[in-house]
Structure 1
Amino acid sequence: MKITIVAGARPNFMKISPIIRAIEKLQTPKSQISYRLIHTGQHYDANLSDTFFEELQIPQPNKNLNIKSGSQAEQTAGIMIAFEEELIENRPDFVLVVGDVTSTMACAITAKKASISLIHVEAGIRSGDLTMPEEINRMVTDSITDYFFTTSDIATQNLIKAGHSKENVFFVGNVMIDTLLQNLNRIKKPAFWDDFDLAPNQYYLLTIHRPSNVDEVNSFIELLMEISAHVEEMPIVFPVHPRTQQILLETKKDFPNFHFVEPQGYLSFIYLLKNSKAILTDSGGITEEASILDVPCITFRSTTERPETCDLGTNVLVGNDKKKISEAFQKLKNNQWEKVKNIPLWDGKASERIVEQLLRINYG
């Protein structure tokens, strides 16, 4: 049983790490399961790529397609051309893609056109927002997938309602949480912690990168000023995405309580998240980690593809609504934030369930 595993961008690396670990754990002469790891190169900055391979102990890729930057169309085309060559040279029984980045969709299409069975991990999640490139990637990938592995019952039902066979949809849990729980004892204080006099529960952690929040400079700066007003004097640690850094350079506004830092490796970022008073974000995956760590999470989006983080976790959607933002910060100040409840199968064993199911699919 030969599986080609695809990773291309930062969110992918956290998802493939426990899957690879589960495959290696279950490798026996009887199972005859092997994998080939392909890095598309979609994220090629060392802070967004290389660091994660080192920290999460992911083996070096069998091949890096080295696609790098470009428009969505350019990246998609480049990945498809290079991945097609890879599949011709090293044809697997299955191609496994994770998440919802450009690499996910591009490699999914290429695999199906080569008549190779397609596995999608984190299938079925939907935000309902077609302005998000990720939503289009999810929909296209799921429309041609053969075997679906979901993080929640809601995602499972989304796929069944779309007409996919129940027999090919497997609710296994969340591989991101596998990675989180496997590495909690390894998280490390970032180098700037003492320089900024940071202390547990005495700072906010901010991540903003979505085009809807950062591409229009005036509205982006207005959002940062709104956040600054509500946190008062408390520090805000802001690991700045490269595309966001460029936008910040275009403004001369001063944010005295902000600490702008480089993108963090996984172990340092989780340390910052775990010890923060709250995470302020527009990410999807971070809302999952915040929920399991029971850290309050304010999300600057009006929709989410992970509703369980709102229903059972610590996540609250505020969009750019000043009233909702104000109410969320008031709840924080009054210590009225909801605690995390049990989220089914987010127990650190999702990857084991995936690999065991794949063995059943292949060998019966």
Structure 2
Amino acid sequence: MLMPITDDHLVDEQIQLANATSRPLYLIIIATKPCYIKLASLILALSRNGCAFLAIDVGQHYEKKLVHARHELQYEHLISIFLNVRGDLLGRTAELADRVNWLYLYLKKRQFKGQAIPVVSGDTSTAGMFPALWYFKTRLRSIHVEAGLRSLSPFDRQQMPDNFSEILDLQRTRQSWTMIQDEPFPEAADTRLASVCSQLFFTPVSLNTKNMLREGADMKDIHQVGSLSADALELIMKETVQTSVFDVYPFLREGRWLRVDIHRRENISYQVLSGLFKAIQELCGKGFRIVIVVSNAMNKGIRTLGLEDLWADLQKQEGVKVTPLWTHYQHVIEFMSSPHCQGIYTDSGGLQEETQVLDIPCITCRYSTDRPETILHVQNNILVPPYSASLISSSLEYILEHGQSIFSNHDKLLYSRNVGEKMADILRDYVPLPMLAMQDIFDDSVL
């Protein structure tokens, strides 16, 4: 088991600030690749406006290609604690519980006197479990960034059409959409769990606000601020490109490419991946260019599901290119913003937001989406579920040939701007539920 690493000087500086001002100490919990990207502007804004905070890297994602954004977005020097949590879904949850206890004792040892309030983001397993564990330890409630994400779907799985026109018609009919409680797994549960032990909720759009109200949150505790994705894009596009993605992958300079990026658990199955590979092979046989960015999950799926032969055949197809996961967030945005990007076929939630901000066609490889506003409010996104190879192939072919008549994006400020600043302004004045001090309710000496 790896032990936590701390920058005691930075921690003490922030604890002294919190103690001197009798204000909360915000624990900014960074867990996965999207956290490293999205939380950047909030961390930088808190640093600018004098709020006491500790940026805490949990370690759920730890490989350089997954965490490089903390360097690119210029806040790595503000991370004061690395919890070094590792393991599978259950293993890291158990380890996280141990680290929550360690963090409590560590802050107590460093003479912290007030309320330490976790700030978690999105729908990661860390976001789901950390607020509950901290609440059990201290009775303190957390703050949930990107609260209210709920998956909606226009499809009946038992009566799935196998042609794109019907697939599209179902999505354009608002009345056909219903909430899907367990998609994606486990993220759909994680986002609900994150809110259960939280007191303050930052929602991206009105749909998320309505979800929180329907589930019992008080309107005074909800702040609809937009998505930090919009801030991350603005930050990264200000940075000078050191090495272009087109130098790393020169083939991308030739023509226009559909970028395929798949990593969700429900898509790492024999049926989905084999159908996807067959569809890509068929499309490239008709002259389309497709670059497949191989996630850790897809790579493992190919090995464990017996797809090596199909995968090898696909890579022989002219027009197919395969790359490892792109380490640099800047490379993803540089490519998507270029005329060489024809669109994105992805199961990522964050990319659905980013493509909307950048006004790039997004095609989502899922039966549902937790960003339904990208379809219902604007039409920058289309669901093409991995139902069959023929559906994927025919749908993508039609979209790539007729995209201009399908996509529209009339609300360029759907996810707002300066979101991190708005959150930091709210946190500067936020008053948590009253308590005398951070207190371990299981400590017999206080009972």
Q: TM-score, normalised by structure 1?
A: 0.91
Other structure's SS at 2:40 match: helix
Shift of 1:102: 1.0
The amino acid across from 1:5 in the alignment is I
Question: Which residue of 1 is the match for residue 234 of structure 2?
Answer: 181
Mapping for residues 58-207 of structure 1, pairs under 5 Å: 58-60=75-77, 61-70=79-88, 72-90=89-107, 92-113=115-136, 114-127=138-151, 128-131=180-183, 132-186=185-239, 188=241, 190-191=244-245, 193=247, 195-199=249-253, 202-207=256-261
In structure 2, the residue matched to 1:221 is 274
- Alignment CA distance shift 1:278-1:6 (3 Å): same
CA distance in 2, matches of 1:261, 1:222: 20
Q: Are 2:69 and 1:52 equivalent residues in the alignment?
A: yes
Structure having the larger proportion of residues in helix: 2
The number of residue pairs the alignment matches comes to 355
Are the counterparts in 2 of residues 173 and 350 from structure 1 also a CA contact under 8 Å? yes
Instruction: Name the amino acid aligned to 1:119.
Output: I
Q: Is residue 2:408 matched to residue 1:339? A: yes
Residue by residue over 1:39-72, the C-alpha shift from the partner in whole angstroms, topping out at 9 and shown as x without a partner, is 11111111112x12111112242111111232x1
Return closer, same or farther for 1:235/1:120 CA change in 2, 3 Å cut-off.
same
Structure having greater relative contact order (Cα 8 Å, sep ≥ 6): 2
Any idea what the Cα deviations from partners look like across 1:125-144, whole Å, max 9, x if unmatched? Answer: 10124151000001111122
- Residue identity in the other structure for 1:234: F
Q: Distance in 1 between matches of 2:240 and 2:264?
A: 26
Is the 8 Å Cα contact of residues 179 and 348 (structure 1) preserved in structure 2?
no
Counterparts of 1:306 and 1:355, CA distance in 2: 24
The alpha-carbon distance between structure 1 residues 56 and 300, as it changes in their structure 2 partners (threshold 3 A), is same
Report how far residue 77 of structure 1 moved: 1.4
- After TM superposition, the score normalised by the length of structure 2 is 0.75
Q: How far is the alpha carbon of 1:194 from its aligned partner?
A: 6.6
Q: 1:115 to 1:194 in 2, by over 3 A?
A: closer
Opposite residue 38 of structure 1, the aligned amino acid is I
Matching residue within 23, 28, 35 for 2:46: 23
The alpha-carbon distance between structure 1 residues 272 and 98, as it changes in their structure 2 partners (threshold 3 A), is same
Q: By how many angstroms is 1:190 displaced? A: 4.4
| Alpha-carbon displacement from aligned partner over 1:169-217 (angstroms, at most 9, x marks no partner) | 1101111111112222337464564754323861111100112112x23
Distance in 2 (alpha carbons) for counterparts of 1:307 and 1:84? 38
| Residue segments in structure 2 that go unaligned for 5+ positions in a row | 1-22, 152-179, 433-447
The answer to whether residue 289 in structure 2 is matched with residue 235 in structure 1 is: yes
Supply the AA of the counterpart residue of 1:274.
S
* One-letter identity of the residue aligned with 2:422: R
SS in 1 for 2:251: coil
Query: Using a 3 Å threshold, how does the CA distance of structure 1 residues 194 and 174 change in structure 2: closer, same or farther?
Result: closer
Return the alpha-carbon distance in structure 2 between the equivalents of residues 292 and 344 of structure 1.
7
Partner of 1:30: none
Structure 1 residue 248, shift from structure 2 partner: 2.8
In the alignment, which of 45, 49, 58 is matched to residue 40 of structure 1? 58
- What SS is found at the alignment partner of 1:84? helix
Q: State yes or no: 1:8 paired with 2:61.
A: no
| 1:289 corresponds to which of 328, 332, 354 | 354
Change (3 A) 1:324 1:228: closer
The C-alpha deviation readout for 1:10-66, integer Å capped at 9, x for no partner, is 011112100011112212xxxxx21101111111111112x1211111224211111
**What residue ranges of structure 1 are gaps of 5+ in the alignment?**
28-32
Counterpart Cα distance in 2 of 1:289 and 1:126? 18
Highest CA radius of gyration, 1 or 2?
2
1:62 match: secondary structure: strand
Distance 2:200 2:254 in 1: 42
Q: How much identity, in percent, do the aligned residues show?
A: 23
Counterpart for residue 333 of structure 2: 270
Residues 327-351 of structure 1: CA distance to partner in whole angstroms, max 9, x if unpaired?
4531330232312121555232111
| Alignment RMSD (CA, Å) | 2.1
Paired position in structure 2 for 1:318 = 384
Out of 201-210 and 230-239, give the one that drifted further.
Answer: 230-239
